[in-house]
Amino acid sequence: MPDKINRHLDIAPEVAAALRSGEAVVALESTIISHGMPYPRNAETAATVEATVRAAGAIPATIAVLHGRLKVGLSAAEIQHLGRQGQAAIKCSRRDLPLVVARGQDGATTVAATLLIAAMAGIRVFATGGIGGVHRDVEETLDISADLDELARNNVAVVCAGVKSILDIGRTLEYLETRGVAVVGYQTGNLPAFYSRDSGFAVEYRGDTAAEVAAIMQAQHELGLTGGLLVGVPIPEEYALDSAEIDGVINDALGEMRQRGITGKAATPFLLASIVERTGGRSLDANIGLVINNARVAAEIAVESSSGICGIRHIP
C-alpha cells in the first residue's frame, strides 16, 4: 500500500487492511455495471464476480467514482446504485477523472481509469472482460483506446479474455509491443478474442499456472520496469461463440455504427448492445461467463503473488 494516499482516494477498510498486511487483492472495473449490461443483471453479475474472487482466496476491490471520490472497494448498496444508474453514470477514462472529481459526480471506470486508480491504491492485479485497443478503422478515426497507454504506465497485471473482438487485434498487439507491454497467454499459445477462444494471433509467452504468471510479475518488479502485464485467458468452452459467426455479427454491427455516425466513447457500448441483439442474448451470457472466469484466474494469480513465486518459460 502506498505511503502517501491521494487525497481524492477512498479505500474501503477491508481492502486497506488487506493491502497493509500483504493479502491478495483484485481490482474490478465498474463500466460493466453501469454500461455493460441492463439492471438488475449488471448488479447481480458484479456481486457474483466479487464472490468468485473471495472464493479463490482474495479480496475484491470494485473501483468507481462516487460523488467525486475515487472509491476502491464498493459496498453492496453502492453496486446497486451504479447498477440502477446505468448509462446515466459517466463513463470515466483517464481524461474524464479530473472533471468528474471536481464536479462531485458519479462515474463508472473503464479499464484505463481502473488501472490508474488500482495503481494509486497499490493493487497489482486487475480482472476485467476484455481490453480496448486499436479500432479497425484507425486510419480514418485515429481511435486507439487509452487502455493501452495505461497498461504501459502502471504496474498492474490485467487479466482479461484478450482484446475485444470488435477491434483490430493484430494492430493492438503491435501497439502493446511498441509500448513495452508483455502479453502472456494463460494456458494458451494464442491470444483469446473475447467471445471466441482463439484470435488466430500467437503470443510469444504463455503461463500455464497462476504461479508462473506471478513469477513474471515478480521479475518485472525486481527489474524495476514500469508498466503492466496483459494476461489473456480464453473464454470457457461452454460460453464460447463460433469465430465465423461472431465476426459476421461484428461486421454488421460496425456497418450500422458507421451509418449512424456513432464514434468515441459511445462506440463500444453501441457495438456490444448491437451484438447482444444480433446473437439473441448469447453474447451477453458469454460476456458474463468470461468475466467470472477471469475473476477466478486473477484471484489465483493475486494469491500466488502475495505468497510465493515460481517458474517462467518461453514458448519455443
Full residue range of the structural domain in which residue 242 is found:
9-307
**Counted domains in the chain:** 1
pLDDT in tens, the chain (316 residues): 675 568 999 999 999 999 999 999 999 999 999 987 889 999 999 999 999 999 999 999 999 999 999 999 999 999 999 999 999 999 999 999 999 999 999 999 999 999 999 999 999 999 999 999 998 889 887 889 999 999 999 999 999 999 877 889 999 999 999 999 999 999 999 999 999 999 999 999 999 999 999 999 999 999 999 999 999 999 999 999 988 888 898 889 888 988 998 877 777 778 878 888 998 989 899 999 999 999 999 999 999 999 754 444 443 3
164 classed as catalytic: yes
CATH of the domain at 96: 3.40.1790.10
As a whole number of angstroms, the distance between CA 287 and CA 295 comes to: 12
Does residue 205 sit within a domain?
yes
pTM of the entire predicted model: 0.92
Does residue 313 sit within a domain?
no
As a whole number of angstroms, the distance between CA 137 and CA 178 comes to: 20
Does residue 314 sit within a domain?
no
Catalytic annotation, pick one of 71, 91, 150, 164:
164
Catalytic annotation, pick one of 29, 50, 150, 304:
29
Contact 65, 115 (CB under 8 A): no
29 classed as catalytic: yes
Pull the grid cell for residue 122: 497499490
As a whole number of angstroms, the distance between CA 57 and CA 236 comes to: 21
Does residue 315 sit within a domain?
no
Does residue 3 sit within a domain?
no
| CA–CA distances in Å: residue 125 to residues 4, 78, 86, 294, 296 | 20, 22, 26, 11, 12
